[in-house]
A and B are shown apart, each in its own frame.
Chain A
Amino acid sequence: MTAPSFVYRVRSLCFRYHAVHRGKPDWVLDGLTFDVRAGEIVGIVGPNGSGKTSLLKLLANLLRPQAGHITLLGRDLATLPQREVARTVALVPQAHQQIFPFTVLETVLMGRYPHHHGAKWSAGFDWESPDDLTVARQAMQATDIVHLADRLVTDLSGGERQRCVIARALAQVPQILLLDEPTAFLDLRHQIDICGMVRRLKEVRGLTVVLVSHDLNLAGQYCDRILMLDGGKLVRLGRPEEVICRDLIRSVYGCEVLVDQHPITGQPRVTL
């Protein structure tokens, strides 16, 4: 069996939270059609309220579209049980503060849950197997948090917490990693760390990554393709230099910026 070249095929996807808003339908996403290829990093960008996070949640099967459909590895996403989706797709949501004193290792091991078998009311205690521990260890090595294994997640700094959540996602052994604002609230060094790590995961593990970002420069640097949303509509999907250009940013964001080339990588660079 060969891996399909498209992991996601999205066809005329429409989504809204409320049926009608002030008399007219209030579409958050309006007729999106695009594909995500295996092993690429796609960045979703766009102004606030353009539907980026909603799109990511639709891809994770957390929300159901009102129209259109999503195909995940050749199967209709809407017909798949959530547990099965979780074995293929891992979501890293925007930073949530854990309030209970779980250790980092315990948190990472929670990522093994979708791989545990057993019915809902007979799952029992689900003791972790040696395999689970090995996978968790590899995930923690990949995100460089092995030394934090026994620390409480409640005591971690922002960057450490983010890496812990990514390790939890990797423990799911997914083919697709969905990241919601992975660099929000992180300082410069941690932003670069996380982005470099995502790039490495793509190259070493062949992960397909879809990430939402506000930072056009980071998206331009690390993504293979960029999808720009505006008001729930797909404005453009293409290589960074095709999407991050002065005219498009002016029409979508309504502000003047300077776009030139990064002197080393040659990727587009936005200057305010």
Chain B
Amino acid sequence: MRLTTNQPESPVQAEQLAVTAAAEAAPARSGIAGTVLTARRWMVVMAPLAVAMVVLLAICLQFGTQWVGLGQVVDLLIRTLREGSAESDTIGTTGVILFHVRLPRLLLGLLVGACLSSVGVVLQALLRNPLADPYVLGVSSGAALGVSLAILLGIGTTVLALSLLPICGFAGGLLSLVVVYHMAASYGRLPIHSLLLAGVILNTIFSALIMFVTSIMEPNRSVGTMTWLMGTLTAPSYPALIVLAVYLIVGVFLLLKQSQVFNIMTLGEESARALGVEAEQVKRAAYVICALITGAVVSVSGMIGFVGMVIPHAVRLMLGADHRLLLPAAALIGGMYLMSADTVARTLLAPSEIPVGIVTALAGGPFFIYLLVWRKDRFA
């Protein structure tokens, strides 16, 4: 966007005035002109977000087919902690619904939303394109193909499923990223149209293959697969949730470690290398981590769209582009967003449920079109 037209009639004069003003103001302010991200500002943003997350978790816990008041939630929580067990004989049916059905599902929503947002932030930085997102780029559908192939081959029914499905998802997701990587490498900075085109084509191919795979499955299994594909969160068992959480949090943490490097990568690969960043290594490592995270997320929740595009974009507008703050803030806000969306999905038509992927697509799709049509000057 060229803002030269917005300047006063005589840019020379305006600039001179500004320079004089700055020179006069300089002695008064001993510190540096301008604000930078400091550890203090980081805490000032992140701490309230963490508190908000806990509050939102408590609020969402109340909703469901059966309304459970906040007082009862707290009461049951205290009783569980005092008894040291969460069996149905100590906390009753309501307690089981709260702590074995709703809570793990909400926590899963937090995890999935946080991961999709983090991957979105990183892909946007590496591709220097604010519309990149694992869903739009076809990474999610690649992962979904990997997982549905695994289901077709019967892997999903064994105990090994827990570890094997994410790996199949990873393989499929990586396949998409390799294609995107080569497109980006041959164009320098991937222009918006090529990026979307690559995503559309990959999505079409993978969807066709997924349709084929589900069509040759046994009917009862294919129904389950279709529901999963639409993007559904189901309450996991606590051991499964813990394994997934450790795996995903380590992945996001590794990305977070690189956030300063991602800042520099947005200058373009050549400038980044001129500043001493090993761009090629950073890119490959980050792509692999993104594929690993997306693979695991898709294997548990199917294809939940647009979270990775909408959340980073909104957070960047609020907090600026510095990835040291953007990445963790987008993770928390993305988690809260998906948790709320899932609460809507399971209460709107209770007792029946809408797949949460439909809710996020209906909310995110129009936003995507808005960005593409009305804000195109910012990234065309």
Please give the residue numbers on chain A whose beta carbons come within 8 Å of chain B beta carbons, in ascending order.
57, 60, 62, 81-87, 89-91, 93, 96, 98-107, 109-111, 113-114, 120-128, 133-134, 136-137, 140, 144, 146-147, 149-150, 154-158, 172, 189
Contacts and interface: CB of A to CB of B under 8 A. Distances in A.
B40 to A, nearest CB: 10
B267 A127 contact: no
A63 B64 CA distance: 60
A86 B261 CA distance: 15
Contacts of B263: 102, 106, 110
A87 B34 CA distance: 25
Contact of B271 (A81, A91, A120): A91
Contact of A96 (B38, B268, B273, B278): B268
A35 to B, nearest CB: 22
Name, among B125, B271, B275, B317, the residue most crowded by chain A CB atoms within 10 Å (CB to CB). Answer: B275
Contacts of B270: 57, 62, 93
B130 A147 contact: no
Interface in B1-52: 1-4, 7, 11-12, 18-19, 21-22, 26, 31-39, 42
A106 B276 contact: no
Nearest to A120: B278
A154 B321 CA distance: 11
B260 A102 contact: no
Given A101-B320, A137-B33, 18 more contacts: A82-B276, A83-B276, A84-B276, A89-B274, A93-B274, A100-B266, A102-B320, A102-B322, A105-B35, A107-B267, A123-B260, A127-B37, A146-B22, A146-B26, A146-B33, A147-B19, A149-B34, A157-B2
B324 interface: yes
17 contacts: A99-B129, A99-B379, A102-B263, A105-B32, A105-B33, A110-B275, A111-B275, A114-B275, A121-B257, A125-B324, A126-B324, A133-B36, A146-B33, A149-B32, A150-B34, A155-B1, A157-B11
Contacts of A124: 257
B21 A147 contact: yes
A82 B321 contact: no
Contacts of A109: 36
Contacts of B278: 82, 120
Contacts of A102: 263, 266, 320-322
Contacts of B22: 146-147
Given A98-B267, A149-B33, A113 B276 contact: yes
Contacts of B42: 125
A157 to B, nearest CB: 5
Contacts of A150: 33-35
Contacts of A136: 32
A86 to B, nearest CB: 3
A85 B276 contact: yes
Interface in B108-132: 125, 128-130
Contacts of A121: 254, 257-258
Given A62-B270, A100-B266, A146-B22, A158 B36 contact: no
B281 interface: yes
Nearest to A132: B36
A121 B260 CA distance: 11
Interface in B78-119: none
B281 A120 contact: yes
A179 to B, nearest CB: 12
B296 interface: no
B378 interface: yes
Contacts of B273: 62, 82
Interface in B203-238: none
Contacts of B12: 189
B316 interface: yes
A158 B4 contact: yes
Given A86-B276, A101-B321, A128 B36 contact: yes
A178 to B, nearest CB: 8
B275 A105 contact: no
Nearest to B263: A110
A110 to B, nearest CB: 5
A101 to B, nearest CB: 5
Contacts of A93: 268, 270-271, 274
Contacts of B128: 99
Contacts of A144: 19
Contacts of B33: 105, 137, 140, 146-147, 149-150
Nearest to A180: B270
B285 to A, nearest CB: 8
A154 B267 CA distance: 12
A113 B264 contact: yes
B16 to A, nearest CB: 10
A105 B34 contact: yes
The 3 residue pairs across chains A and B that have the minimum distance between CB atoms: A149-B34, A147-B22, A86-B276
A193 to B, nearest CB: 10
A103 B11 contact: no
B61 to A, nearest CB: 33
Contacts of A134: 32
B131 to A, nearest CB: 10
B157 to A, nearest CB: 38
Given A101-B321, A106-B321, A113 B378 contact: no
B358 interface: no
A200 B90 CA distance: 79
A107 to B, nearest CB: 8
A101 B379 CA distance: 11
Contacts of A99: 128-130, 266, 378-379
B259 interface: yes
